[in-house]
Structure 1
Amino acid sequence: MILEVAILEVKPDLTEEFEAAFKTASTIIASMPGYISHELQRCLETTNRYILLVRWQQLEDHTIGFRQSPKYQEWRSLLHHFYDPFPVVEHYESVLFNS
């Protein structure tokens, strides 16, 4: 499993609109091959900062399957105008898991 991590800095006056658009965009990403799950969390200290965590079966499910799909263009048009600056997206693999 691969964990995609993105810190999203949303323009402060657009957080409610962003959250509404993200609900719509969630159905797009959830329909992609290799998708496992995702969550969006809002920062308590900086209320216009969010963290997006997406679990994929393989790295290529995100970097090729999603990002090179027509559905990514729809995702982009729904969400990318909310960010300032544009987020850095990184991918992680598990080293240790303890529950």
Structure 2
Amino acid sequence: MVLEIATLQIRPGQTPAFEAAFAQAQRIVAVKGGYVRHELQRCVEDSHRYALLIWWETLEDHTVGFRGSPEYQEWRALLHHFYDPFPTVEHFVRVAL
């Protein structure tokens, strides 16, 4: 299993709209092949920063299956205009509990 972690910085004053848009967008990712689960967490120290965690069965389920899908364009249209700067996205595998 692969954990995608995206650090999202939301434009000032846009967090309520971002959270509403994310409520719609999460339905898009949740039905993609290889999707396991996700969480969206807001930073305690900076209310405009979020961590998006999505667990995938394989790296390719995210990088090819999701990002290469037509549904990803809908995801982009719903969310990408909220980010400044564009998110850092990295992938992790568990090595210990």
Cα RMSD between the aligned structures? Answer: 0.4
Moved over 2 A (4+): none
The answer for the alignment partner of 1:85 in structure 2 is 85
The answer for the alignment partner of 1:95 in structure 2 is 95
What is the Cα deviation at residue 88 of structure 1?
1.1
The answer for the alignment partner of 2:3 in structure 1 is 3
The TM-score, its normalising length taken from structure 1, stands at 0.97
Aligned length: 97
Q: Which runs of 5+ in 2 are unaligned?
A: none
Q: Distance in 2 between matches of 1:96 and 1:14?
A: 37
Q: Distance in 1 between matches of 2:13 and 2:58?
A: 35
Q: Distance in 1 between matches of 2:35 and 2:59?
A: 10
The TM-score, its normalising length taken from structure 2, stands at 0.99
Instruction: State, as a whole percentage, how many aligned pairs show the same letter.
Output: 60
1:21-36 superposed matches below 5 A: 21-36=21-36
Q: Which runs of 5+ in 1 are unaligned?
A: none
Q: Distance in 1 between matches of 2:88 and 2:79?
A: 14
